[in-house]
Amino acid sequence: MAGFRAAAIQMRSGFSVEANTDEAERLIRAAASAGADYALTPEMTTILCMDRERLLASISAEADDPSLARFRALARELGIHVHIGSMAIKLGPTSVANRAFLIGPDGGIVARYDKIHMFDVDLANGESYRESRLYRRGEAAVIADLPWLRLGLSICYDVRFPNLFHTLATHGAAALAIPAAFTRTTGEAHWHILMRARAIETGSFVIAAAQGGHHDDGRDTYGHSMIVDPWGRILAEAGTDPDVIFADIDPAASVAARQRIPALASDPPYALPATAAELETA
C-alpha cells in the first residue's frame, strides 16, 4: 500500500471525560467521513485538568476505562487506525500514566506509549507546571508498524528532546506522531520551529494534533495542529478552534528526503574527552 490519508484532530478538552469523549468521537467520525485512514487526537484527549484530586477522581485504570472501550469500538466500526494522542490512565491510588494508544481497524491496541519527558516548567508569565508530581514517566521509545510505514510515538514535551526522534527514525520510523497540549506562551515562541525541525532532522513526516483555546482549568493552549512533510513543508495547519486537518502521506517522500540529506546515515558516534587536560594534549 503506497500511502494513506492522515487526519490531525484539534480539541479543547475540559473537565468532563464524557463530553470530551463525545467530542473526540464526533471529530474522528468526521475525519473518517473525509477519507482518513489514520486519525490522531491530541494529548489529554479525555480530560485536561491540573487539579490532582479532581483528575484522580475522574479517570480509570486501562482495563476499566470506558472512553478507551468506546475508541476501540469506534476504530472497529470505521475500519481505520485511531491514535488517541494520550489519556490519563490510573496506575494506582495516586499514580497516573500519560499514555497514548494506537488502535487498529479491528479494534485491537497496536501500541501503547507512556510520555517519557515530564513538563516541569516555570514560565515567565507566572504559569507553573509539575507533571512529575502526578505522572509516572515512561521508560521506552515506541515504534509501531502501520500498513504503509513505521510510526514513531511521542507526546508533547518529548518534542524538545531530538535524540528521541533520532532514535525513532534510525529504527525505521518514517512518520512521527506528536500529540500535544502546548501552552499558548511556548507555542507562540517554539511550536512551528520544533515541529519543522523534527521533520527536517529525521526526514520524516510529522503529524501533530494539538489542544487549542481556553480550558476549564484556566490554561490557554496554542492549537495550530499541523502536518509537516519530510522536507519541512507545512502541508496542513489548524487555527485555535476544534478542527480536523488532513494530508496525504507518501512514504516515498521520506525515502527521498533522506537520500537528499543523508544525515541519519552519516551521523557517527561522538566521543568526548574525559578531562580538560586531554583537550590540551589532543
Q: Which residues are catalytic?
A: 43, 115, 156
Neighbours of 92 (CB within 10 A): 9
Query: Which residues share a beta bridge with 180?
Result: 210
Residue 170 gets the label, from left (phi > 0), alpha (psi -120 to 50) or beta, of alpha
Structural Rg of the chain based on CA atoms: 19
Half-sphere exposure of 138 (CA within 13 A, CB side): 23
Count of all residues that appear for the chain in the document: 282
User: Of 203, 103, 192, 194, whose CA–CA distance to 144 is shortest?
Assistant: 103
Neighbours of 94 (CB within 10 A): 11
CA distances from 78 to 35, 65, 84, 152, 195 (A): 10, 20, 15, 23, 29
Amino acid at residue number 60:
S
Q: Contact 216/50 with Cβ under 8 angstroms? A: no
As a dihedral over the C-alpha atoms of residue 87, residue 237, residue 150, residue 221, rounded to 10 degrees, the angle is -30
Give every CB contact of residue 279 below 8 A, 6+ residues apart in sequence. Answer: 273
Q: Contact 40/207 with Cβ under 8 angstroms? A: yes
